[in-house]
Structure 1
Amino acid sequence: MSCWGPLCIGPGHWRFRLWAPGAEALTLEIADRTPLTMTPEKDGWWHAETQALPGTRYRFRLADGLAIPDPASRGQNGGVHGWSVLADADDHAWQTADWRGRHWHEAVIMEVHAGLMGGFGGIEGELPRLRDLGITAIELMPLGAFSGQRNWGYDGVLPFAPAESYGTPADLKRLIDRAHELDIMVLVDVVYNHFGPDGNYLGLYAPDFFHADLDTPWGGAVAVDRPQVAAFFLENALMWLEDFRADGLRLDAVHAIGNTDFLDKLAYDIRERIGPDRHVHLVLENESNDADRLAAGLYDAQWNDDFHNVMHVLLTGEDEAYYADFADRPAERLARCLAEGFIYQGEPSPTHKGRIRGKPSGHLRPTAFVSFLQNHDQIGNRATGERLTLLAPADPLRAATALLLLAPQIPLLFMGDEIGSRSPFLFFTDFHDALADAVREGRRREFARFAAFRDEAARARIPDPNAPETFEASRPEAPSDAAEWTALYRSLIALRTRDIVPRLAGSKPEGADVLGDAAVSARWRMSDGTRLTLALNLGADGVDFPESKADAIFTLGRAGAGGSFAAWLEET
């Protein structure tokens, strides 16, 4: 039985439950009706039963008179401080009921922000274009309801309720249904490590939802060791996978959860519930480079920040903040990344005060790593949101794109990459009053340690996250050379689909070599016994690329010259 959220227990009959161990009394309010006194149960639960229809608005009221939404609301009316809404399980007639998903090694992922793409309907309209590009999966940045009309996704407070500004639950189901018609998977980014700063009422009536003595950047740590809290997130995961038929989840920043038992049990319970008949993919973001979570087989892959970080250093020369960990011997670090997965596998991290980071990962399959040149984090966390198209020369960036899309690791693109967009992706919110001031000033203080923003005048030029213009400026726009970038992406993805993906399952790395200060080559034994060799030079000086008995399947630039790339597939 569902623990959290309303449960239909008969025709038109609903049971409402809330875990509120800190509440003295609790009332269920249904719009235009007399309030119902809720009954306490054991372990801090409260319940009430009544007749209602889908679409009915409801909320809870605490003993002090404060009205609160259901934290497991499946929909909101009037924002995160407004009414919760009973979901209609039959609000969409599925056209792809027999869809079973796609294999993980087939994934070519595009990360998208629903708000910037015109909501669920806007993304749906883009699906044919993405399919024609060769994209096999879209990853939706977090969808849970947040304060205001705009948010980059990671300030959600009602993780079961799709944000009203994106569309209705039925709109999201229609988007996913259409994606499946086009043979595209849909992954949902979920945030189980924190809640946003406005609209999270849990601490008022369920203080045990958090560990006040365990500090995180967002306050007390979420108490995932408590069964009621663990159930909250399991039910959320299952909602996306079952009610919306998503093909997988990306779990944001699980290093901030700090509880591997919870992560393992969550994945195990999901696998048990979904069963073997569907391809459902679970992906982690884990700054700790914890290879154990991947070796156990419960999680398919992890975002590999190490790949991004070292590639960013090679492309831009930047060495501030976390890039400092990759500025020394970057070609050597890239070679290790291609051959073994993580770069940090138990070494001390200078930017983490010497903390040991990572575990050995060379035994893992290449597809256990999701590689990217940029994503929402590394663009949005820049002061002015610049993309690599503004930070790196075009020829090395094209060569890096070829490495991303032809290496055996799973490639992830960020919306706008495929057109060479120069538009920024900025950090944006829709907070007001004192919170808006705090977020704006906190953002500017955050960048005071960077050389370019040490003086107050420079910091004042950092866009205000709450300004509507900041949101509007973040939409991808096609530059004059968009067709050239799109042609490059389409040709690389087509080559990956034709020559790499059929050989990918069971592939193994065979090592990598440093060819120069910014040049490497790497080799993999593919499942059919062929050897894939990739060579890349992002530097200005020429190097010698490895010799091959076979003709290259793809080249950019003159072999070995600055900004060049080559790929070979040969029989061994």
Structure 2
Amino acid sequence: MNGRFASALSFGARPLDAERTQFRLWAPAQEAVSVVVEGQPALAMTPEPDGWFSVEAPCGAGARYRYLLADGADVPDPASRFQPDDVFGASQVVDPAAYPWRHDGWTGRPWHEAVVYELHVGACGGFAGVAAMLPGLAELGITAIELMPVNDFPGTRNWGYDGVLPYAPDAAYGTPDELKALIDAAHGLGLMVLLDVVYNHFGPDGNFLGQYAPPFFHADGSTAWGQALDFQQPAVRRFFTENAIYWLMEYRFDGLRFDAAQAIGEPGWLDETAAAVRRAVEPGRHVHLVLEHDENEASHLSHGFDAQWNDDAHHVLHAMLTGEDQGYYSDYADDGARRLARCLREGFAYQGEPSAYRDGRRRGSVSADLGPTAFVLFLQNHDQTGNRAFGDRLTSLARPEALEAAIALQLLAPQIPMLFMGEEDASTTPFLYFTDHRAPLDEAVREGRRREFARFPAFADPAQRQRIPDPNAEATFRASIPQPDPERGPARRQLYRRLLALRQAEIVPRLERARALDADAVGHAAVVARWRMGDGAVLTLATNLGPSAVEIAPLRGRPLLAATAAGRLDPCTTLAFLDGVQ
């Protein structure tokens, strides 16, 4: 390899040399389009078939430009690689091959080695701030960091799911080269870097595609977050498929997490894109594709995707740890141990059964034929924490002893564990929903956030809803920056370090071809589960999240994690045994 990487894109600005750049735009609703490079007169673009326009302009990397539409409006490039002055400013030509990679021979790590750490780049100090965290995360036992979306959004702070320019890292976090430097540094420490991408909608402010490419959107379709994208359009399919390949090839991300895939109107596009990614990636390089899919649709896991976030496992563990039974937790509030056992044995708790929370609609598909590494197991993430009115973490909601038993289960189970930033330090800092929208959208978002909680008894009183933090206030973002708990933090970090070292030594080498044998409830909050590992050994985990001891059959094998006598499972305890090896 030459240490420099670039993706050939159908859209956007492509430097040809130091003084020439080709521009290309899909604008099927326009009769004429020009590109305006700062300091130069407007340059008419040449119409091409199917609504495309292109032109070659005398400029190179660093030039700022906009597209001028026939009606006089000027807009940024929807495939802009960088927006120095936010989504409403000019786009900037970027030479993607300018960054000299130090670890260009990195080929990644196999998926079964993943221990994922989800983080918000802004809350961690931008790309440079995340880079500074890497040595500590590697020492802890993390093998992959997952960045919440970094593509350009309006303002200086946002979760990232309001992005409108999918190819441009947000300038509030740093430059494209600073993002590449972060990934390069991670690879030097043996860490994978995954990126959360949003292909189901655009944010509510700063997207101009409707002005010149209305076919980008369904005329009569919508999602929970905005107008639905029309993936029946070849240009739309290509725009997002190329985006996925761009992040993986040009930025050398080791994988992507596809947000809310159930909201993508053409599910076949997912498999199509997975296949395109597999064709594009160099032989021998490990690249991983992960889904979030609220419908528990398992079919994509046999068509190019490595794993899916296991929301079911999170929900049942959360309900068991906190006793909560409102919202979607109502589907998991009863018979928690049985539901947890099914998650450990088969992946999803709902595999076609009716969901009361969804008015009796059946949810999910069969997942028992999949191996455990097809599921990402987490106790917290940005959604399940941030979508609470006050962003409460489990450190504020659950008994510490029960939470630590759940942590042991999560880190030693054969599913792929994922931590949310701050968990390792027992942080009690909330993770709140935050934005930086302009008026009048700021007020609409503020009131919409409060209306979301009106159906919950605790917020039936409008005065109570006023206590919900204002998403648009900078203080809301500042309050969401994780801080270690001064009392529990050191011991909690040591617990994670010890368990992750145990996972690396005893579980990971045996994970390939591992399959569940059985898992059963042995009490109202206790489960015993067994897996046949890849080398033939049997891993047994016994977990009791409840306040009372339960009697169990003696566990066989060498103890990996044991604190009680055989035949007894104490309250708030996880035991681990490995049988069939010395």
- The bucket for the TM-score relative to the shorter chain is over 0.9
Counterparts of 2:319 and 2:207 in 1: how far apart (Å)? 38
Matches within 5 A, 1:100-499: 100-296=107-303, 298-480=304-486, 481-499=488-506
Corresponding letter in the other structure for 1:188: L
Counterparts of 1:111 and 1:395 in 2: how far apart (Å)? 23
Corresponding letter in the other structure for 1:265: E
Q: Tell me which of 570, 575, 578 is aligned to 1:561.
A: 570
Shift of 1:550: 2.6
Match of 2:505, SS state, is: helix
Which structure 1 segments of 5+ residues have no match? none
Matches within 5 A, 1:498-517: 498-517=505-524
Contact 2:202–2:226 (CA<8 Å) still a contact in 1?
Answer: no
Contact 1:77–1:83 (CA<8 Å) still a contact in 2?
Answer: yes
Contact 1:212–1:219 (CA<8 Å) still a contact in 2?
Answer: no
Shift of 1:216: 1.4
Corresponding letter in the other structure for 2:340: L
Q: What is aligned with 1:525?
A: 532
Shift of 1:64: 2.3
Counterparts of 1:545 and 1:204 in 2: how far apart (Å)? 65
TM-score by length of 2: 0.96
Match of 1:351, SS state, is: coil
Contact 1:142–1:189 (CA<8 Å) still a contact in 2?
Answer: yes
Match of 1:449, SS state, is: coil
Shift of 1:327: 1.2
Change in CA separation of 1:219 and 1:212 when aligned onto 2, cut-off 3 Å: farther
Overall identity of the aligned pairs, in %: 54
Shift of 1:5: 1.0
TM-score by length of 1: 0.98
Q: What per-residue deviation string (whole Å, max 9, x for no partner) do you get for residues 95-153 of structure 1?
A: 11110000000000000111000000000000000000000000010010000000011
Match of 2:440, SS state, is: helix
Counterparts of 1:501 and 1:158 in 2: how far apart (Å)? 38
**How big is the alpha-carbon RMSD for the aligned residues of Structure 1 and Structure 2?**
1.2
Counterparts of 2:178 and 2:446 in 1: how far apart (Å)? 33
Matches within 5 A, 1:544-555: 544-555=551-562
Shift of 1:317: 0.6
Corresponding letter in the other structure for 1:147: P
Contact 1:124–1:175 (CA<8 Å) still a contact in 2?
Answer: yes
Q: What is aligned with 2:4?
A: none
Shift of 1:11: 4.9
Identify which range, 349-358 or 103-112, moves more after superposition. Answer: 349-358
Contact 2:203–2:226 (CA<8 Å) still a contact in 1?
Answer: no
Contact 2:9–2:242 (CA<8 Å) still a contact in 1?
Answer: yes
Q: What is aligned with 2:5?
A: none
Which structure 2 segments of 5+ residues have no match? 1-7
Shift of 1:74: 0.2
Q: What is aligned with 1:47?
A: 54
Counterparts of 1:217 and 1:549 in 2: how far apart (Å)? 49
Q: What per-residue deviation string (whole Å, max 9, x for no partner) do you get for residues 501-552 of structure 1?
A: 0000000100101111111110000011110000111111211233123342
Identify which range, 117-126 or 213-222, moves more after superposition. Answer: 213-222
Identify which range, 499-508 or 446-455, moves more after superposition. Answer: 446-455
Contact 2:14–2:23 (CA<8 Å) still a contact in 1?
Answer: yes
Q: What is aligned with 1:24?
A: 31
Corresponding letter in the other structure for 1:180: H
Contact 2:537–2:580 (CA<8 Å) still a contact in 1?
Answer: yes
Q: What per-residue deviation string (whole Å, max 9, x for no partner) do you get for residues 292-340 of structure 1?
A: 11123x0000001001000000000101111111112111100000000
Count matched residues: 571
Counterparts of 2:540 and 2:427 in 1: how far apart (Å)? 30
Shift of 1:10: 4.6
Match of 2:560, SS state, is: strand
Counterparts of 1:140 and 1:260 in 2: how far apart (Å)? 24
Matches within 5 A, 1:88-107: 88-107=95-114
Q: What per-residue deviation string (whole Å, max 9, x for no partner) do you get for residues 198-221 of structure 1?
A: 101111111100112122123331
Contact 1:535–1:546 (CA<8 Å) still a contact in 2?
Answer: no
Counterparts of 1:551 and 1:176 in 2: how far apart (Å)? 39
Counterparts of 1:556 and 1:25 in 2: how far apart (Å)? 74
Counterparts of 2:274 and 2:441 in 1: how far apart (Å)? 36
Shift of 1:89: 2.2
Counterparts of 1:388 and 1:560 in 2: how far apart (Å)? 23
Q: What per-residue deviation string (whole Å, max 9, x for no partner) do you get for residues 271-301 of structure 1?
A: 01114321000000011111111123x0000
